[in-house]
Homo-oligomer: A and B are copies of this chain.
């Protein structure tokens, strides 16, 4: 493709994207295909000769779109919001065109320096203590990672490295494996599945602690676990606390957890993948009280701040723990970096990295702090509006407090009613919501996801749920004493997984579910 063809097809793609977003309401939100559908539509081998790009453009509607679940449709209420916006798309276009690999400052200083500046911008926007900012001239700062899950793993490894070095300094006779075998990390029974998985990957014991009746982990539980484990010769070293869990958007109690971590030298990582963006609004910052005790935290602008995946921002108070844990030669690089800008390849698991701060910069400037606040507040108000509709109906109960953009509800009575309700809703193909199970309680989650979701969209979504409920209420069930899930909604994966990240949580269930019901459409 020569440069003039790019001008032509670039314009066409811009218009295609504009039309897609503008008219997304008219598309059936859920894909309508069966596993393997694309194999029938594409050849087994790449073409020998290059094809005309206009033929490729035609295949987008023919081959790709039937297999798309439209995450940015106002009728999409699954998982949590996935970030996206026009300025973000423009930022990625420029990033691709420059195409630098920013593994060190020198390979393209702009790539590193804009990331330093924009992660500071974002840190100030959500009210982080200055220890987390590059501008504090301390060892702290922010970095863009691919996902919150990769960040948990990274921080767990850095924490493991720190404690091993501390213990070896005092007990030179102990070897690394001997120490790692005694380590224990903690998280809550509501945490992202990537936390226990990080333990698995890092060959470290990771324990899920029980949350209270608001699905929140508190200091009393943590202290008991630490004392018990220490009595048994284990070494507590890491806690991953969650602000805004996937199941119910619950918040762990940093104010009681933090001091205990400090007292016991435990690395506190705070996973605020979804809720972190909301702290741009001062009224929500009460949910992050105690954040000053964290060594690291992360939030995903690619979830709830209008940035396209991937852009997960992580902050650390002392980056040397990270650099040293990953550096093939720490002594040399400590010198190299002294008083200079970071070489971000040492702040992450992969070596290569692209210019992701451009889309963050474009989006924060195009919306401004006030524009982002409006967007967050509107989503939270729409969630409240939906909650009112659900409660006024009288046939539903809300199972967790509606704090941000998520409403967790079920039909009063036996679980099977809510399961059937989900079947009826999904069979319409008009809206997309997903179920969750927390401590054997089965419920439905409706998240506000699209940037342009309106009050009218919410009322229309509620109408779909209302009519589906009418149908369920007219059915006859044999309610067994002990409920067994129907085959149509196999909820076992969720039960097995425990509560997971919005990525992981419901994909198993939903994977089965959509697969099973699509023939009904």
Contacts and interface: CB of A to CB of B under 8 A. Distances in A.
Contacts of A35: 105, 109, 340-341
A325 to B, nearest CB: 8
A216 interface: no
Interface stretch (A87-95, A378-386, A410-418): A87-95
A33 B109 contact: yes
A203 interface: yes
Taking residues whose C-beta sits less than 8 angstroms from the other chain, chain A's interface range is 35 or more
A356 B258 CA distance: 39
A14 B11 contact: yes
Given A64-B114, A153-B349, A328 B497 contact: yes
A347 to B, nearest CB: 13
A93 B13 contact: yes
Copies in the complex: 2
A365 B333 CA distance: 43
Contact of A507 (B47, B85, B107, B500): B107
A10 B88 CA distance: 11
19 contacts: A1-B85, A6-B14, A10-B10, A33-B110, A46-B369, A47-B368, A60-B94, A63-B110, A64-B358, A68-B100, A69-B108, A71-B107, A84-B97, A104-B508, A106-B510, A328-B496, A328-B498, A332-B492, A343-B507
Interface in A54-86: 56, 60, 63-69, 71-72, 79, 82-86
Contacts of A498: 328
A508 B7 contact: no
Is the contact region of chain A dominated by helix, strand, or loop, or is it mixed?
Answer: helix
B71 A101 contact: yes
Nearest to A122: B46
Contact of A365 (B15, B56, B326, B514): B56
Contacts of A329: 493, 496-497
A269 B508 CA distance: 30
Given A6-B86, A14-B93, A328-B504, 12 more contacts: A7-B14, A17-B94, A21-B97, A46-B121, A53-B362, A56-B365, A71-B98, A71-B100, A106-B510, A106-B511, A176-B203, A336-B508
Contacts of A302: 352
Given A10-B18, A93-B13, A493-B336, A87 B53 contact: yes
Interface string A18-61: 10111000000001010111110010111111110100100010
Interface string A221-240: 00000000000000000000
A124 interface: yes
